[in-house]
Chains A and B, each alone.
Chain A
Amino acid sequence: MKLPIGWVSEFVRLTAADRARLARRLTETGVEIAGEEEIEGDRVLEVEITPNRGDLLSVWGMAREISAVMGVRLCPPAVRRMTVPKKRGFIQIDRGSGCRRYLGARIDGARIGPSPEWAVRKLRQAGYASFNNAVDVTNLILAELGQPLHVFDADKLGESIHVRRSRPGEKIAALDGNTYSLADDLVITAGRPVALAGVIGGLETSVSETTRNIFLECAWFEPSTVRRTCRRLGLATESSFRFERSVDPAGLERAFHRAIELIEELTGGNLEWVEAEGRAPDSPSAIRLSVEDIDRLMGVSVPPASVRKFLAATGCRVASSGAGRWRVVPPSFRPDLRGPHDLVEEVSRLYGMDRIPSRIPAMRPAERSDHVTALDRVRRSALSQGLTETVQLSFVDEKSLRGFGISPADAVALQNPLSLAASHLRPTLLPGLLATLSLNIRREAGVSIRLFETGAVFLPGAPLKEELRLGVVISGEAAPPHFSRPARPVDFLDLKAIIMAILADAGRALPETVFLPAAVGGLDPSACAAIRVGDVSIGCMGLVSEEARKTFDLSQPAFAAEISLSRVLSFERAAVAYAAIPRFPSIRRDLSLVVGQAVTAGDVCREVRAAGLSDLVHVDVFDLYRGDNLPAGAYALGVSLRFQSPVRSLSDEEANRSRDAALARLERQIGARLR
């Protein structure tokens, strides 16, 4: 809100010194100063008012606050009580409709035209445009006293108005040029809706050049009623902004009379009658406050005399009810003061929050949950694998979903997305990672791009489910280029190594991890695996499919993996126990096999392990050959077996027997032959 210093000085006497420390003092006491400018030769502050302080949304309200926090004298605006004929029956209010009080005045014989220079200047300083003299008066009063007003062309209203909830099918063409369909909104009607109460007036009954007779509205509408209408229609006006934050119910008459006076002055019209209906809400009720309440929150003993002084400065009526005890009645313009804690805030901000001394907490390290520790281990493991950590937004679009073979109906949609590019919550981390990969490749950010993210994915269902996942994508060179080694692009096995390392580092008691050929959306079936630990599926990995590459504009092959950390972390923490370091030499035996295409390396290793060989400590693949000199439909696989006993040296004969037993099982179970 714009606060013209010249204008506010009409209500508080500010010395040059006061003006100099005004901005700092307001900041210290809770009104933030966002900027300062000069408009029409006067200093204007841009003040930020928190939603609880509707009372500060006017020049007069700010004057009151300045008086309270700077201890300067306040000169309230003059109120002229007028004696005029009272009208009855023009205004009708439905009880419980959301309108608590309604003051109306008829001013006849007005000449609508431009406002005088002083009014235009004040409006401009407060950030308002000038329309015509009658409308300008409503904005002047709004800016000065914070009371929203509305002027109608009285001749278009007819014999009465009715303040009520709208009926089905009713519409209003508003001053902003839009037509709004109404749905149980509070409206002013004259047969048909002529204004959305507290929000905006109707176009048809607005005051224009041809208007001769004016009807002035000054009312108190319930904050929640005004807010509901604004939210529903996506509307916000200077008027609704103030009603939502509650205007001073005791300030209605003052604003009303001041407005009548100004309209008469500016338009040359004459007040015909006034009518007042309804009863403004009561002032806030009394609050009991004690020094203990203050001490308990502030941790500071504020002298009782100061408490009294601070509260009185904010406009409260303070009555003593014993030593260090008070009965405090907040002013009508502070409905936010409801309990002792609210009064403590008033005391603390006038005492000076910045004056409260500090008490350094005793240091004692907190326990770390197993979950937090495990996540930290996963993150550090991924970093140690040479991956770059990323933070992706949690949103995806339909195109990315389809690129992963996910129907948008199987993802959680946002009701009010910022854009179509962020229409759903991600059900997988991979679209974001691939988009980032693509960006880095297009920017030529590096020849070897390796990325990861840990974060939640959102899965539809009842209730909606969040799952913590790890996503990894790699592309480009397997290692940073160096003259001494040949360049080699990353492949499936590089990614597999990363995933296995991270799973091992997670420190969970996982059953054996197995990689099984699988078909997964977004991944190429020629190199795609489901990852399982025991019989729990924990994720997938593979070559990014052509289709997904097109979706993300990826010019080169990439490999991606996604692991459910929620599932991995659901396993117990692994207990680490020392195992004796082998003291006796190991013996290695190799088997050069020819196996059918359908047999996997995993099958071979599994069968070797299943042969029950004693002292077998390691099975590895040392050679893989596909090509000529082999029977059709077969390939060559070399596996090495390492034997080692913890208690003695093994003989060559023992190793040979074990090797032969393994071979026999391989021949029998999977039709392997020696090469």
Chain B
Amino acid sequence: MTDLDSIQGDFERALAGAADERALEEIRIRFLGRNGLIAAEFSRMSEVPPEGRRARGADLNKLKGFIESKLKEAQSGRSGPAARSAAFDVTLPARSVSRGAAHPVLTTLNDICDIFGRAGFEIAGGPEAETDWYNFGALNVPADHPARDMHDTFYIADCGLRIADLNSRSAIRNPQYLLRTHTSPVQIHVMEKRRPPVRVIAPGRVYRRDDDVSHAPMFHQVEGLWVDRGVTMRDLRGLLEYFAKTLFGSSVHLRLRPSFFPFTEPSLEVDVSCVICGGESRQRASACRTCKSTGWLEILGAGMVHPNVFKSVKIDPSSVTGLAFGMGVERIAMLRYAISDIRLFYENDVRFVAQFGALG
């Protein structure tokens, strides 16, 4: 014996798919015919416990009546010229389902990782709450170094925490936790575990005590590290050129400028030609808000790994060279989508996020 709802369901589906009179007749035979489904159910009444037979009979009759009336309705609807005028209105609004929307920062972050992934960079990670050693000391930023001013750091309140592993260097130096101010500590974690050659990319959240239109107390960075014999600034330029052209389009060009980061030497900053005005505003002295009419946009910091960083992880600095770079994902997403206020990213208005599509 079959559930009547499922018979009704089958019928409705068949009816909806019926193209012409002949199909309707076939349906009538299948359901109402002498050997049809309804008749079959009546004949299996003996399987029903006696006390339920009456109810079952009533339900079956109801279903039979339903099928008859629906078939009649369909037949009358199809006969004559009126049928054509009642054709389905294809302009009715679609019956949509909820669509997902990927966050533009994470989409950008994934795109960046994919671009470097194609160049052999594996994804690595590390904790967001770090020790002073990983965030600063191992990266050649000693305590009392003014370079720390570049990173206004959140510290985690000491609630009697003890680092379990007292043998680790970090515990001895400073047991206090802080929120990592950059993804560079992942360089240290990676090189502690793996010997060169190393090609990794480390995306993640970072924290700085800052809050205004262009700074949020939390944002995302992607760190890159490539350590091997013979890695030079030529590779750095080539890699970043490949990256920028893939992300922003093949017409952009790069500019490398000297800069300073404690963990790289030489250090440099990388600009791309303005993705909005194409660098035109500089020549024509027309106003471009994005590049402030300089024609250039700073997108990342980079350099050659400082020998002291290699020493921190017990790699002989004379045996290899390395390049490292780091970029702010929000900044790149802002350039990519012409967003002017970083806080829009963390407000998560669904109408904002939905603009960037579901596919991530």
Cβ–Cβ contact A359 & B351, under 8 A? no
CA distance A385 to B6 in the complex (A): 27
Which residues 295-313 in A have Cβ within 8 Å of B in the complex? 295-300
CA distance A382 to B358 in the complex (A): 10
Cβ–Cβ contact A298 & B205, under 8 A? no
Cβ–Cβ contact A349 & B98, under 8 A? no
Cβ–Cβ contact B147 & A440, under 8 A? no
CA distance A416 to B145 in the complex (A): 20
Cβ–Cβ contact B163 & A463, under 8 A? yes
Instruction: Report chain A residues within 8 Å CB of B93.
Output: 482-483
User: Closest Cβ of chain B: how far from A596's Cβ, in Å?
Assistant: 21
Identity of the chain B residue whose Cβ is nearest the Cβ of A589 in the assembled complex: B1
Given the known interface contacts A296-B321, A365-B117, A417-B154, the answer about A360 and B241 at a Cβ–Cβ threshold of 8 Å is yes
Interface size class of B (residues with CB under 8 A): 35 or more
Candidate in B98, B161, B218, B307 with the most chain A CB atoms within 10 angstroms: B98
Cβ–Cβ contact B103 & A51, under 8 A? no
Q: Check if B118 is an interface residue, CB within 8 A of chain A.
A: yes
Given the known interface contacts A53-B260, A379-B360, A391-B103, the answer about A356 and B234 at a Cβ–Cβ threshold of 8 Å is yes
Q: Which of A78-86, A339-347, A562-570, A607-615 contacts B (4 or more CB under 8 A)?
A: A339-347
Cβ–Cβ contact A349 & B161, under 8 A? no
Instruction: Report chain B residues within 8 Å CB of A445.
Output: 349-351
Q: Which of B25-33, B70-78, B121-129, B185-193 contacts A (4 or more CB under 8 A)?
A: B121-129
CA distance A389 to B346 in the complex (A): 11
CA distance A395 to B208 in the complex (A): 12
Which residues 402-416 in A have Cβ within 8 Å of B in the complex? 412-416
Identity of the chain B residue whose Cβ is nearest the Cβ of A298 in the assembled complex: B233
Cβ–Cβ contact B353 & A390, under 8 A? yes
Cβ–Cβ contact A298 & B156, under 8 A? no
Cβ–Cβ contact B120 & A386, under 8 A? no
Q: Which of A142-150, A367-375, A522-530 contacts B (4 or more CB under 8 A)?
A: A367-375
Cβ–Cβ contact A348 & B241, under 8 A? no
Cβ–Cβ contact A479 & B234, under 8 A? no
Instruction: Report chain B residues within 8 Å CB of A114.
Output: none
Cβ–Cβ contact B98 & A436, under 8 A? no
Which residues 441-477 in A have Cβ within 8 Å of B in the complex? 443, 445-446, 448-451, 455-456, 458, 460-464, 466
User: Closest Cβ of chain B: how far from A231's Cβ, in Å?
Assistant: 8
Q: Check if B199 is an interface residue, CB within 8 A of chain A.
A: yes
Instruction: Report chain B residues within 8 Å CB of A364.
Output: 119-120
Q: Check if B332 is an interface residue, CB within 8 A of chain A.
A: no
Cβ–Cβ contact A365 & B123, under 8 A? no
CA distance A1 to B271 in the complex (A): 22
Q: Check if B209 is an interface residue, CB within 8 A of chain A.
A: yes
Q: Which of A26-34, A120-128, A179-187, A643-651 contacts B (4 or more CB under 8 A)?
A: A26-34
Q: Check if B348 is an interface residue, CB within 8 A of chain A.
A: yes
Identity of the chain A residue whose Cβ is nearest the Cβ of B161 in the assembled complex: A462
Identity of the chain A residue whose Cβ is nearest the Cβ of B117 in the assembled complex: A366
User: Closest Cβ of chain A: how far from B11's Cβ, in Å?
Assistant: 17
Instruction: Report chain B residues within 8 Å CB of A130.
Output: none
Q: Check if B134 is an interface residue, CB within 8 A of chain A.
A: no
Which residues 258-304 in B have Cβ within 8 Å of A in the complex? 258-260, 265-268, 304
Cβ–Cβ contact A391 & B156, under 8 A? no
Instruction: Report chain B residues within 8 Å CB of A389.
Output: 100-103, 106, 353, 360
Cβ–Cβ contact A227 & B146, under 8 A? yes
Given the known interface contacts A394-B218, A425-B156, the answer about A360 and B242 at a Cβ–Cβ threshold of 8 Å is yes
Candidate in A245, A413, A464 with the most chain B CB atoms within 10 angstroms: A464
Candidate in A366, A385, A640 with the most chain B CB atoms within 10 angstroms: A366
Q: Check if A517 is an interface residue, CB within 8 A of chain B.
A: no
Instruction: Report chain B residues within 8 Å CB of A458.
Output: 128-129
Instruction: Report chain A residues within 8 Å CB of B120.
Output: 361-366
CA distance A458 to B130 in the complex (A): 12
Cβ–Cβ contact B257 & A28, under 8 A? yes
Cβ–Cβ contact B117 & A368, under 8 A? yes
Q: Check if B99 is an interface residue, CB within 8 A of chain A.
A: yes
CA distance A231 to B146 in the complex (A): 10
Q: Check if B157 is an interface residue, CB within 8 A of chain A.
A: yes
Identity of the chain A residue whose Cβ is nearest the Cβ of B94 in the assembled complex: A482
CA distance A449 to B354 in the complex (A): 12
CA distance A416 to B178 in the complex (A): 10
CA distance A412 to B155 in the complex (A): 11
Q: Check if A178 is an interface residue, CB within 8 A of chain B.
A: no
